[in-house]
Structure formats: C-alpha cells, structure tokens
Amino acid sequence: DGGITQSPKYLFRKEGQNVTLSCEQNLNHDAMYWYRQDPGQGLRLIYYSQIVNDFQKGDIAEGYSVSREKKESFPLTVTSAQKNPTAFYLCASSSELAGNTDTQYFGPGTRLTVL
Amino acid sequence: AQSVAQPEDQVNVAEGNPLTVKCTYSVSGNPYLFWYVQYPNRGLQFLLKYITGDNLVKGSYGFEAEFNKSQTSFHLKKPSALVSDSALYFCAVREGGSYIPTFGRGTSLIVHP
C-alpha cells in the first residue's frame, strides 16, 4: 500500500470512549488526508493537512480531531462526540503542497467497530 | 465546484469479455481524473490518471481509460476481464486550483468465471 501504514487493522470501541487511529508515511509527502468509507457512500473527507502543524476540516469533521506534529504522522482521534463511528477509515498522502496532478497513496485502512 | 458520478453500482461481466466501468464528471476548469481499485478490506490502489495529452490513458493491470471532453466522461476499460479483476472501482476528479479530489460512490465489478 505505497509506504503508508495504518494501525491497528481492527479496532473496537465502547460507547463513550475516545480512540486514536495511527497513520504513518515514509514517502516524504507533504499532504495527508483522512477519509471515512461507508458502504455505498464512497469516500468522505474528514480532515486534511498540507504541512506540519496545519490541518483543515473536511466534509465530516464533527466528532473527530487530528494533529500533525511530524511530517510523517497524521493520527486521527475519534471522540465520543461522534455518534456513529463504525466505519472503515482510510489515510492517504500526496507529494506536493498544492499539486493538482498528484496521485494520492492510500494506507490499508482501519476498521472501527463500536460495541 | 467539482463532482463525479459513477452511474452503476454494480457491473457484471463474464471472464474474457471486455469490461467498461463508467465515470462522468463536472468541473469549472480543466479536470484531472483518476481511477483507483479497492479489494475487500484493503486501501485504494492507484490504477491510472489523466492530466493532459493523449485522451487514451494506459494504466496498471491492463486497464485503460478514455478521456472524452465533450461527454465529460472518463470510462475505465479492459479488453479481456479476469476473475481477479473483481473489486470496487473508484473514479475521482480534481479541478484546477483544488488539491482535494472528489470521489465517486464506487462501482462493484464482478467478473464471472
């Protein structure tokens, strides 16, 4: 999956808990992204980061938080405020800061299930 | 604003037959178009992209796509389908000035033996 790792592969959360999904890339990419995938809905953007110490909300940021303290790392926290967090979460990265032609490279995903 | 549509939720094809997965798009300026494939419980893998130049783009695993500006389409094709091509396929578009792509809902391709 192109030098991007996500952990864990499967994650179970109890109601009211915060959980953090890890995403690491060794591609020296500036931009990183988090997507949520639900059956039949395609990919929806949660957060993205163009550069270290900067990130922007995507289409469905409510109930999620991120940080970008290092270029290679972009962890996603699913908070208790996210009412329906059960989904497949995908992290991606691309090389240039604002390169329209860049290909995104995706990690293998984390499947989060709320018990 | 940019948008992309994959009009078919599922495409069924017999092994050895040609396959087409459809994608249409809408952008204000020049489109940058991408196809990705996803196998069960895996991340998306890049297949091919159109940026400029030749309208016929060749990609991984024998796939190709044809950019048609007048029809605003970017259909994915393969001359002879394999059972192992069965997967979920996503089309994505970026327009000039945007670095956040918009993804289609995905098309499930099922290749029957």
A70-101 pLDDT, tens digit per residue, is: 999 999 999 988 889 999 999 999 887 545 56
Give the model confidence (pLDDT) of B40-51 as tens digits. 889 999 999 998
Confidence (pLDDT) at B8: 96
If one counts every other C-beta atom within 10 angstroms of the C-beta of residue B76, the result is 26
Q: What is the rounded radius of gyration, in angstroms, for the C-alpha atoms of chain B?
A: 13
Residue tagged 């949520």 (tokens) = A36
A13 or A25, which is more confident: A25
- When pLDDT is cut at 50, 70 and 90, the band that residue B109 belongs to is very high
Interface residue ranges in chain A relative to chain B, Cβ cutoff 8 Å: 1-2, 4, 6, 31, 33, 40-43, 45, 48, 50, 58, 88, 90, 92, 94, 96-109, 111
Q: Name which of B45, B99, B101 is nearest A98 (Cβ-Cβ).
A: B99
- Closest residue in B to A39 (Cα) is B105
Mean residue pLDDT of chain B comes to: 94
Q: Name which of A31, A41, A105 is nearest B99 (Cβ-Cβ).
A: A31
How confident is the model over B80-98, as a mean pLDDT? 92
Rounded CA gap, B112 and B17, in Å?
10
| Percent of chain B whose predicted confidence (pLDDT) is above 90 | 82
- When pLDDT is cut at 50, 70 and 90, the band that residue A2 belongs to is low
On the 0-12 / 13-18 / 19+ scale of CB atoms within 10 A, B4 is: buried
